[in-house]
């Protein structure tokens, strides 16, 4: 089956391309780096040529609700229109557990993305996952100011991006279902402690300050709004086991 991964150069996108190929599918990533821009539409139709399934793993690095909403509305509509024109039979979209309980900041855009799929005319399945183990590194990079590392507090139950990727490929192989079970990792963790452990693993030095970031999205995460419900599907490994298997000095651990 030919699978195109929108955002295929990102943290989870790379894993999806690899997981799909490992299952014997013909898979390719699509992003600005490969000449397809979901904001302008440029290069999207040709990237989707002969695609049977699209997996949507695009993202924008922002905590601003308006920026996020504008980005996801546009990228989702571009994908829906191109998929319909190209005869794609199924779009699998990756969302985040609890976004509708906490529709602020970046998550406002994820809610808009889900709504666009629900209102659109392309067959879709939305899978919500919790934060990735790799999220510790993503947040750490954004919260570094010279030698000072901020470690924001949040309650999370993280899952490995690779496990999410394998699950998404399984969903992609099936029929469009609208919405399917949420997925989560095996244990609740404190994000600030994950960031400290991630830095220790990489041998990074310097001051680390645990902080409560302002804003409704991070407040909601401290209150546990990003934690999965009891019926979520749990996928290993734990953060600790995942981290100990990451290369120590590759400079890319956690990506």
Ligand X SMILES: NC(=O)c1ccc[n+]([C@@H]2O[C@H](COP(=O)([O-])OP(=O)(O)OC[C@H]3O[C@@H](n4cnc5c(N)ncnc54)[C@H](OP(=O)(O)O)[C@@H]3O)[C@@H](O)[C@H]2O)c1
Residues in contact with ligand X by the rule CB under 6 A: 7-13, 31-33, 36-39, 57-60, 94, 96, 110, 129, 131-132, 135, 138
Shortest distance, position 98 Cβ to ligand X, whole Å: 10
Place of tokens 């529709």: 103
Shortest distance, position 189 Cβ to ligand X, whole Å: 12
Residue 135 near residue 103, CB atoms below 8 Å: no
Q: Which lies closer to ligand X via its Cβ, residue 61 or residue 206?
A: 61
Q: Which lies closer to ligand X via its Cβ, residue 135 or residue 242?
A: 135
Residue 95 near residue 128, CB atoms below 8 Å: yes
Q: Which lies closer to ligand X via its Cβ, residue 64 or residue 206?
A: 64
Q: Which single residue brings its beta carbon nearest to ligand X?
A: 10
Q: Which lies closer to ligand X via its Cβ, residue 8 or residue 220?
A: 8
Q: Which residues pair with 30 in a beta bridge?
A: 6
Shortest distance, position 253 Cβ to ligand X, whole Å: 15
Shortest distance, position 209 Cβ to ligand X, whole Å: 22
Q: Which lies closer to ligand X via its Cβ, residue 124 or residue 135?
A: 135
Shortest distance, position 224 Cβ to ligand X, whole Å: 16
Q: Which lies closer to ligand X via its Cβ, residue 131 or residue 149?
A: 131
Shortest distance, position 33 Cβ to ligand X, whole Å: 3
112 Cβ contact partners less than 8 Å away, ≥ 6 residues apart: 68, 69, 72, 73, 76
Q: Which tokens is 19 given?
A: 């997981």
**Residue 43 exposed, middle or buried by CB count within 10 Å (0-12, 13-18, 19+):** middle
């Amino acid at each position: 089956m030919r699978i195109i991964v929108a955002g295929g150069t990102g943290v989870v996108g790379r894993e999806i391309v690899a997981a799909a190929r490992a299952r014997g599918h013909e898979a390719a990533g699509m992003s600005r780096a490969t000449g397809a821009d979901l904001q302008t539409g440029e290069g999207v139709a040709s990237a989707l040529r002969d695609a049977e399934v699209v997996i949507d793993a695009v993202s924008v690095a922002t905590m601003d609700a308006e920026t996020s909403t504008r980005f996801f509305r546009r990228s989702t509509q571009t994908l829906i229109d191109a998929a319909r024109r190209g005869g794609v039979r199924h779009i699998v979209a990756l969302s985040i557990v609890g976004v509708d309980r906490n529709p602020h900041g970046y998550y406002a855009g994820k809610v808009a993305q889900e709504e666009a799929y629900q209102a659109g005319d392309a067959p879709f399945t939305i899978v919500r996952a919790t934060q990735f183990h790799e999220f510790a590194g993503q947040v750490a990079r954004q919260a570094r100011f010279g030698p000072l590392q901020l470690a924001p507090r949040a309650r999370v139950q993280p899952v490995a991006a690779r496990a999410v990727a394998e699950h998404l490929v399984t969903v992609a192989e099936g029929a469009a279902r609208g919405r399917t079970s949420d997925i989560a990792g095996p244990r609740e963790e404190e994000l600030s402690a994950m960031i400290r452990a991630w830095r220790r693993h990489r041998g990074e030095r310097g001051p680390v300050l645990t902080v409560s970031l302002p804003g409704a999205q991070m407040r909601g995460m401290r209150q546990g709004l990003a934690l999965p419900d009891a019926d979520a599907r749990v996928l290993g490994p734990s953060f600790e086991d995942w981290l100990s298997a990451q290369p120590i000095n590759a400079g890319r651990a956690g990506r």
